[in-house]
Chain A
Amino acid sequence: MSQVNRLREGGRIDRARTLSFTFNGKQYQGHAGDTLASALLANGVDIVNRSFKYSRPRGIVAAGAEEPNALVQLGSTEAAQVPNVRATQQALFDGLTARSTNGWPNVQRDLMSLVGKLGGRFMPPGFYYKTFMAPASMWMTYEKYIRKGAGLGRSPMERDPDHYDHLNQHCDLLVIGAGPAGLAAALTAARGGARVILCDEQEELGGSLLDSRELLDHQPAARWAEQVLAELAGRDNVTLLPRTTANGYHDHHFVTLHERRTEHLGETAPWVDGHRPSRSRMHRVRAGQVLLATGAHERPLVYGNNDLPGNLLAGAVSTYVRRYGVVPGNKLVLSTTNDHAYRAALDWLDAGREVVAIVDARQAPDGELVAQARARGIRIITGSAVLEARGSTRVSGARVATIDAEAFTVTGQAETLACDTLASSGGYSPVIHLASHTGARPTWNDDILGFVPSLVKGVHAAGSARGIHDLAEGLADGSAAAVKALEALGRTAQTIELPQVDARREGAACALYQVPHEKPTLRGPKQFVDLQNDVTAAAIELATREGFESIEHVKRYTAMGFGTDQGKLGNINGMAIAARCLGKSIPEVGTTVFRPNYTPVTFGAIVGRHCRELFDPERYTALHQWHVEHGAEFEDVGQWKRPWYFPKTVGGKQESMHEAVARECLAVREAVGILDASTLGKIDIQGPDAREFLGRIYTNKWAKLEVGRARYGLMCKDDGMLMDDGTTSCLGENHFLMTTTTGGAAGVMEWLELWHQTEWPELDVTFTSVTDHWATMTVTGPEARKLLAEITDIDLDRDTFKFMDWREGKVAGVPARVFRISFTGELAFEINVQANYAMHVWKTLFEHGDKYGLTPYGTETMHVLRAEKGFIIAGQDTDGSVTPEDLGMQWAIGYDKPYSWIGKRALSRPDTRRVDRKQLVGLKPKDPTVVLEEGAQIVFDPDHAIPMPMVGHVTSSYYSPTLESGFALAVVKGGHRRMGETVYLPMVDGKTHAAEIVGTIFYDPKGERQHV
Chain B
Amino acid sequence: MSEHTATWANVYDVRPETEVPAESPLAWSCHHSGRPSVGAKSRVVLRERAMLGHLILRGGAIVLDEALRQVLGFGLPARPNSLSQDASGERSIQWLSPDEWLLIVPGGEEFELEKRLRTALGDAHYAIVNASGGQTLIELEGECARELLMKSTPYDVHPEAFPVGKGVTTVFAKANLILRRPTEERWELVLRRSFADYLYRWILDAGAEYAIGVEA
A166: B residues at CB distance < 8 A: 151
CB within 8 Å of B: which A758-775 residues: 764, 766, 768-775
Query: Are B15 and A686 in contact, with the CB atoms below 8 A?
Result: no
Given known contacts A278-B209, A614-B205, A617-B175, is B134 in contact with A835 (CB within 8 Å)? yes
Interface size class of A (residues with CB under 8 A): 35 or more
Query: Is there a chain A Cβ closer than 8 Å to B12's Cβ?
Result: yes
Query: Are A275 and B209 in contact, with the CB atoms below 8 A?
Result: yes
Given known contacts A275-B211, A617-B175, A808-B2, is B198 in contact with A834 (CB within 8 Å)? no
Q: Report the bound CA distance from A734 to B18 in whole Å.
A: 31
Rounded to whole Å, the gap between the CB of B201 and the closest CB of chain A is 6
Q: Report the bound CA distance from A277 to B197 in whole Å.
A: 23
CB within 8 Å of B: which A591-648 residues: 609-610, 613-614, 616-622, 624-625, 640
Q: Report the bound CA distance from A669 to B111 in whole Å.
A: 40
Q: Report the bound CA distance from A774 to B132 in whole Å.
A: 9
Q: Which of B14, B174, B193, B211 contacts A617 (CB 8 A)?
A: B174
Rounded to whole Å, the gap between the CB of B18 and the closest CB of chain A is 5
Query: Are B9 and A770 in contact, with the CB atoms below 8 A?
Result: no
Q: Which of B12, B24, B208 contacts A836 (CB 8 A)?
A: B24
Can you list, as one digit per residue, whether each of B3-27 has a CB less than 8 Å from chain A (1) or not (0)? 0101111101111111011111101
Closest to B41 in A: A273
Q: Report the bound CA distance from A835 to B208 in whole Å.
A: 30
Query: Is there a chain A Cβ closer than 8 Å to B80's Cβ?
Result: no
Q: Which of A610, A614, A834 contacts B14 (CB 8 A)?
A: A834
Query: Is there a chain A Cβ closer than 8 Å to B147's Cβ?
Result: yes
Query: Is there a chain A Cβ closer than 8 Å to B194's Cβ?
Result: yes
Query: Is there a chain B Cβ closer than 8 Å to A352's Cβ?
Result: no
Query: Are B56 and A810 in contact, with the CB atoms below 8 A?
Result: no
Query: Is there a chain B Cβ closer than 8 Å to A170's Cβ?
Result: yes
Q: Which of A640, A707, A835 contacts B133 (CB 8 A)?
A: A835
Query: Is there a chain B Cβ closer than 8 Å to A731's Cβ?
Result: yes
Query: Is there a chain A Cβ closer than 8 Å to B58's Cβ?
Result: yes
A731: B residues at CB distance < 8 A: 9-10
Query: Are A625 and B8 in contact, with the CB atoms below 8 A?
Result: no
Rounded to whole Å, the gap between the CB of B12 and the closest CB of chain A is 6
B208: A residues at CB distance < 8 A: 275
Query: Are A835 and B8 in contact, with the CB atoms below 8 A?
Result: no
Query: Are A167 and B151 in contact, with the CB atoms below 8 A?
Result: yes
Query: Is there a chain A Cβ closer than 8 Å to B206's Cβ?
Result: yes
Query: Is there a chain B Cβ closer than 8 Å to A297's Cβ?
Result: no
Closest to B24 in A: A836
Given known contacts A195-B160, A618-B197, is B132 in contact with A834 (CB within 8 Å)? yes
Query: Are A735 and B9 in contact, with the CB atoms below 8 A?
Result: yes
How many B residues touch A, CB cutoff 8 Å?
69
Rounded to whole Å, the gap between the CB of A1009 and the closest CB of chain B is 29
Query: Is there a chain B Cβ closer than 8 Å to A674's Cβ?
Result: no
Query: Is there a chain B Cβ closer than 8 Å to A286's Cβ?
Result: yes
Query: Are A772 and B194 in contact, with the CB atoms below 8 A?
Result: yes
Query: Is there a chain B Cβ closer than 8 Å to A473's Cβ?
Result: no
Q: Report the bound CA distance from A13 to B183 in whole Å.
A: 47
Query: Are A688 and B158 in contact, with the CB atoms below 8 A?
Result: no
B161: A residues at CB distance < 8 A: 170
Query: Is there a chain B Cβ closer than 8 Å to A165's Cβ?
Result: yes
Query: Are B198 and A814 in contact, with the CB atoms below 8 A?
Result: no
Query: Is there a chain A Cβ closer than 8 Å to B61's Cβ?
Result: no
Given known contacts A170-B161, A640-B194, is B23 in contact with A622 (CB within 8 Å)? yes
B131: A residues at CB distance < 8 A: 768, 770, 772-773
Query: Are B7 and A834 in contact, with the CB atoms below 8 A?
Result: no
A119: B residues at CB distance < 8 A: none
Q: Which of B12, B21, B156, B206 contacts A609 (CB 8 A)?
A: B206
Closest to A736 in B: B10
Query: Are A734 and B8 in contact, with the CB atoms below 8 A?
Result: yes
Given known contacts A772-B134, A836-B22, is B195 in contact with A619 (CB within 8 Å)? yes
Rounded to whole Å, the gap between the CB of B143 and the closest CB of chain A is 13
Q: Which of B41, B129, B153, B211 contacts A770 (CB 8 A)?
A: B129
Query: Are A610 and B2 in contact, with the CB atoms below 8 A?
Result: no
Query: Is there a chain A Cβ closer than 8 Å to B150's Cβ?
Result: yes
A616: B residues at CB distance < 8 A: 174
Query: Is there a chain B Cβ closer than 8 Å to A518's Cβ?
Result: no
Query: Are A618 and B16 in contact, with the CB atoms below 8 A?
Result: no
Q: Which of A170, A610, A625, A775 contacts B158 (CB 8 A)?
A: A170
Query: Are B58 and A165 in contact, with the CB atoms below 8 A?
Result: no
Rounded to whole Å, the gap between the CB of B115 and the closest CB of chain A is 14
Closest to A614 in B: B202
Query: Is there a chain B Cβ closer than 8 Å to A687's Cβ?
Result: yes
Query: Are B154 and A773 in contact, with the CB atoms below 8 A?
Result: no
Given known contacts A618-B198, A772-B193, is B151 in contact with A813 (CB within 8 Å)? no
Query: Are A169 and B150 in contact, with the CB atoms below 8 A?
Result: yes
Q: Which of A679, A686, A774, A839 contacts B9 (CB 8 A)?
A: A686
Query: Is there a chain A Cβ closer than 8 Å to B87's Cβ?
Result: no
Query: Are A617 and B151 in contact, with the CB atoms below 8 A?
Result: no
B120: A residues at CB distance < 8 A: none
Closest to B147 in A: A167
Query: Is there a chain B Cβ closer than 8 Å to A815's Cβ?
Result: yes
Can you list, as one digit per residue, whether each of B185-216 has a CB less than 8 Å from chain A (1) or not (0)? 00000001111111101100110110100000
CB within 8 Å of A: which B19-43 residues: 20-25, 27-28, 31-32, 41
Q: Report the bound CA distance from A284 to B196 in whole Å.
A: 25
Can you list, as one digit per residue, whether each of A834-858 has a CB less than 8 Å from chain B (1) or not (0)? 1111111000000000000000000
Given known contacts A732-B9, A808-B12, is B133 in contact with A775 (CB within 8 Å)? yes
Closest to B149 in A: A168
Query: Are A614 and B201 in contact, with the CB atoms below 8 A?
Result: yes
Query: Are B192 and A732 in contact, with the CB atoms below 8 A?
Result: no
Given known contacts A619-B198, A624-B28, is B175 in contact with A735 (CB within 8 Å)? no
A621: B residues at CB distance < 8 A: 194
Q: Report the bound CA distance from A741 to B94 in whole Å.
A: 30
Closest to A807 in B: B2
Closest to A815 in B: B14
Can you list, as one digit per residue, whether each of B79-121 has a CB less than 8 Å from chain A (1) or not (0)? 0000000000000000000010000000000000000000000
Query: Are B154 and A772 in contact, with the CB atoms below 8 A?
Result: no
CB within 8 Å of B: which A793-829 residues: 808-810, 812-815
Given known contacts A277-B209, A836-B51, is B23 in contact with A687 (CB within 8 Å)? no
B205: A residues at CB distance < 8 A: 609, 614
Query: Are A733 and B7 in contact, with the CB atoms below 8 A?
Result: yes
Q: Report the bound CA distance from A910 to B153 in whole Å.
A: 50
Given known contacts A836-B22, A839-B23, A840-B21, is B135 in contact with A772 (CB within 8 Å)? yes
Closest to B123 in A: A688
B12: A residues at CB distance < 8 A: 808, 815
Q: Report the bound CA distance from A684 to B56 in whole Å.
A: 11
Query: Are A840 and B20 in contact, with the CB atoms below 8 A?
Result: yes
B158: A residues at CB distance < 8 A: 170, 195
Query: Are A815 and B16 in contact, with the CB atoms below 8 A?
Result: yes
A734: B residues at CB distance < 8 A: 8-9
Query: Are A625 and B133 in contact, with the CB atoms below 8 A?
Result: no
Query: Are A766 and B22 in contact, with the CB atoms below 8 A?
Result: no
Q: Report the bound CA distance from A617 to B177 in whole Å.
A: 13
Closest to A613 in B: B201
8 closest Cβ contacts across the A-B interface? A772-B134, A773-B134, A731-B10, A835-B133, A734-B8, A686-B127, A619-B194, A834-B133
17 new A-B contacts at CB < 8 Å, known A732-B6, A772-B192: A165-B151, A167-B147, A167-B150, A277-B209, A609-B205, A614-B205, A688-B125, A732-B9, A735-B9, A735-B10, A775-B133, A810-B1, A814-B20, A815-B1, A834-B14, A835-B25, A836-B22
> 18 interchain pairs (CB within 8 A)?
A165-B151, A167-B150, A286-B154, A609-B151, A614-B173, A614-B202, A617-B173, A687-B127, A732-B9, A772-B194, A773-B134, A773-B135, A810-B16, A813-B17, A814-B16, A835-B133, A836-B22, A838-B23
B residues with a Cβ closer than 8 A to A are: 1-2, 4, 6-10, 12-18, 20-25, 27-28, 31-32, 41, 51, 56, 58-59, 99, 125, 127, 129-135, 147, 150-156, 158, 160-161, 173-175, 192-199, 201-202, 205-206, 208-209, 211
